[in-house]
Amino acid sequence: MGLLHASILNVLPNVQLAAMCEKSSVTRRLWKKVFREIQIVDNLEKLSDLDLDAVYVTTPIPSHFFIAKTLYTRHLTHNLFVEKTLASNYDEAKELCGLTRRFGGANMVGYLRRFTVTFRKAKDLLSEDYAGDATGFTGYAYSSDFYGMNRGSKTLVSRGGVLRDLGCHVIDLAIWFFGDLKVDSANVESVADGCSGDVWHFAVRKPGGLKGDFKASWCMNGYRMPEIALQISCSKGIIEVSDDVVKLQLNNGQLSTWHRHDLNDTSFFWLGGPEYFREDDYFIKSVRENLHAEPDFDMASKVDRLIDEVQFKVDKISD
C-alpha cells in the first residue's frame, strides 16, 4: 500500500514525494537504488529535518499507534493519513484522537470504499430518501486470500485478524450510512473445508430500531478480489450495493441498476482503481486548503470500538 500511495502522490500536481521510512535493511538498500531522488530512512526521527507537510502511515495495523503517536509528539507532521484500521484497539484509537485535538491538522483513515462510486451512490440513495427509511441490513466482507491454506499462518496476526484487515470496511460503511451501532451478539464459525481463519458473524442495532447483521471471512471460495457488500431493507424498497454494482428495487416492482460504468468512475490517474486516486487527492486537498477530512480519526475510531465489542462478546462466549 505504501508504494501505491507514494506513486499516486507523486502524480498529484504540486506534491513532492520527499521520503520513505522502511525498517528492512534489504528493502531499504534496494529502494535507495530505485528512488534516487527520495530520502530512504530507517527511523522516524530522521524525518525531522525534512519539514514534511503530511505523512502516510501504511505499515501493518499493530504498528499504527506507535508510529502515529511518534509523528505527533515529535512534531514530525500534524497532517496524517493512516491506513485502516486506525489502531489495534479502541484504547489506542482514543489516544490518537486526543493527539489530533492537541496538535490539530488534517487527519484521515484510509477507508477506501467511501471513495468507490457504487457505495457513494448507495449513500446518495439513502440520504436523498429514494428508498425511504432504513429498517435493517446485512453486510459481508469476503475474500479468498487464505482459502485452502492450512491453519496457523503468522500473517493472520500481523494483519490484525480478518475483522481489522477486511471486516473493518463493511463496518465503516454501515457507520457512514446509519451512524453509531452497538453490538448485540457475535460468534465465530469454523470453515468446513479447512482454512487459516474463520467466519465472523455479529449482529448490531441502532437506538431507534435499525438492526443489522455482518459476516466477515478471508477463506471464502470465489472471491478472487476482496468484496464488500450490503443489502439494506428500507420502507420503500431494498438497496443492494457491492464494489461493482448498486441496485434499487422499489416495493412497486421498479428496479434500477447502476454499474461502475454508469457512475462516472474516472480519475486523473489510474492505479489499482480510481478510488485510490480520489482518496489521496481528497486528503491532499484537505491539507492544502485546511479543510476537515473524512473519515477523520474520531469517526474511524468508531470502527475500532465496534471491533473491540465484537471481540469482547466472542471472548465472553469462549470463556
Instruction: Return the closest-CA partner of residue 71 out of 58, 84, 90.
Output: 58
Q: Report which residue type is found at 64.
A: H
Q: Of 26, 49, 193, 318, which lies in the binding site for another protein, with binding defined by CB under 8 A?
A: 26
Segment near another protein (CB under 8 A); pick from 25-33, 75-83, 92-100, 305-313? 25-33
CB atoms within 10 A of CB 75: 9
Residue 119 interacts with another protein (CB under 8 A): yes or no? no
Q: For the segment 203-242, give every residue that binds another protein (CB under 8 A).
A: 222-225, 227, 242
- 190 sits near another protein (criterion: CB under 8 A): no
For residue 260, the minimal CB distance to another protein (Å) is 8
Place of cell 502524480: 11
Assigned C-alpha cell, 74: 515529535
Asked if 274 is part of the footprint of another protein (rule: CB under 8 A), the reply reads: yes
Q: How far is the CB of 145 from another protein (least distance, A)?
A: 5
Hey, is 306 helix, strand or coil? Answer: helix
Q: How far apart are CA 46 and CA 33, in angstroms?
A: 19
Residues 6+ apart with CB under 8 A from 20: 2, 6, 31, 35, 38, 39, 40, 41
- Judged by DSSP in three states, 2 sits in helix
Is residue 243 a contact residue for another protein (CB under 8 A)? yes
Q: Give the residue, chosen from 13, 14, 33, 192, that forms a contact with another protein under the rule CB under 8 A.
A: 33
- Largest Cα separation within the chain, whole Å, is 64
List beta partners, residue 232. 137, 239
Is residue 154 part of the contact set for another protein (CB under 8 A)? Answer: yes
- Under rule CB under 8 A, residue 66 binds another protein: no
Does residue 35 bind another protein (CB under 8 A)?
yes
**Counting contacts by CB under 8 A, is residue 6 touching another protein?**
yes
Which three cell numbers, joined as nine digits, stand for 300? Answer: 474511524
Cα four-point dihedral sign 87, 115, 254, 226: negative
Residue 255 in contact with another protein, rule: CB under 8 A: no
Q: Any contact of residue 3 with another protein (CB under 8 A)? A: yes
Q: Which residue has the cell 438497496?
A: 239
- Which residues in 159-178 contact another protein (CB under 8 A)? 159
End-to-end CA distance of the chain: 37
**Which is closer to another protein, CB of 34 or CB of 319?**
34
- Check binding of 130 to another protein (CB under 8 A): no
Site for another protein, rule CB under 8 A: 3-4, 6-8, 10-11, 17, 24, 26-27, 29-30, 33-35, 145-146, 149, 153-155, 158-159, 222-225, 227, 242-245, 259-261, 265-272, 274
